[in-house]
Each structure stands twice: as structure tokens, then as C-alpha cells.
Amino acid sequence: MQSRMQNPAAVLPGAMQSIQELFKAVHSGGVDGQTLELVHLRTSQINGCSACVDGGAKSARRAGVSDERLAAVAAWREAPYFTDAERAALALAEAATRLADRPDAVSDEIWDAAATHYDEKQLAAIVLMTGVTNLFNRLNATTRQIAGAWG
């Protein structure tokens, strides 16, 4: 496999810096870093972005996510390794990523479950992490960025 081009955010002046600023904002939202990494990884799995799954697994491991949790995040509903709060964050991330799967993509049930565990600032962080991850997934999958190429 070969990349079609370098990551578009690296090509246009200021784009990568702006995205990194969003990441900083996300991490200032009060959500545990491991939860944010799980959201990133699961979103990337759904979108089939190999570069982001690879990078997300490495980043999650650096944040302290155990190998058991990394291996089971794709099946988080059935796996015993996740807290109720993490499950709510993962459900929200999945719904926000799969917008076209149903008419009411992010149902009140999904939103309300997340809102029982997270305040508005934390919800904003989870939604932004999901959105930024979806952006990177689309950039990287479209241009065929190579898993592991970034170290």
C-alpha cells in the first residue's frame, strides 16, 4: 500500500495546528484521558481508518489503557472491562459517528445516558473528540495514510 499524498492537514498551512488546538481543548474538558483514547479508537475502528486505529491503540496504551481493554473495545457492550461512564461515552461516540444509520442518530436515550455521567463541558469534550477523530479518519482513509508510518 502507498499513500496517495501526505495528510491534507499537513499540506495546507495552519490546518494541522488548528486541529491540534482542538485536541488541546478536548483534553481540557475534564474527561479522563483513557476514556478519550477509547472514544478515538472506537470511532476509528468504525470508520476503518487503519492509520488512526494503529495510532489510537498506541496512544491509548501510552495513556494507560490495558491490553485487555484495547483488545475488547470493538466489543465493549459485551466485555466486562469498561465502566458505565465509559460505555456511555462509547455509545455516544458510536452514534455520532454513524449518523446515517438511523433517522434519530443520537437518540435521547444515548444522550441522556451520557449526561448522567458527564457534565456539559465533558460532553462537549466527548463530542469534539468524536468529531476530530472522524475528521482525521476521513483525511487519512481518503489519502490512504499507512498504519505505522508515523512511528
Distance CA 33, CA 150 (A): 21
Burial profile 122-149: b = 16 or more Cβ within 10 angstroms, e = fewer: bbbbbbbbbbbbbebbebbbeeebeeee
Alpha-carbon distances of 71 from 3, 82, 135, rounded to whole Å: 27, 12, 24
| pLDDT tens-digit map of 5-54 | 988 888 898 999 999 999 999 999 999 999 999 999 999 999 999 999 99
In order of start, what are the domains of the chain with their CATH numbers? 32-142 (1.20.1290.10)
Percent of the chain surpassing pLDDT 70: 98
Q: According to the model, what pLDDT value does residue 150 have? A: 60
Given a contact cutoff of 8 angstroms between Cβ atoms, the answer to whether 46 and 97 are in contact is yes
| pLDDT tens-digit map of 75-96 | 999 999 999 999 999 999 999 9
Q: According to the model, what pLDDT value does residue 119 have? A: 98
Name the residue type at position 28.
Answer: S
| pLDDT tens-digit map of 55-81 | 999 999 999 999 999 999 999 999 999
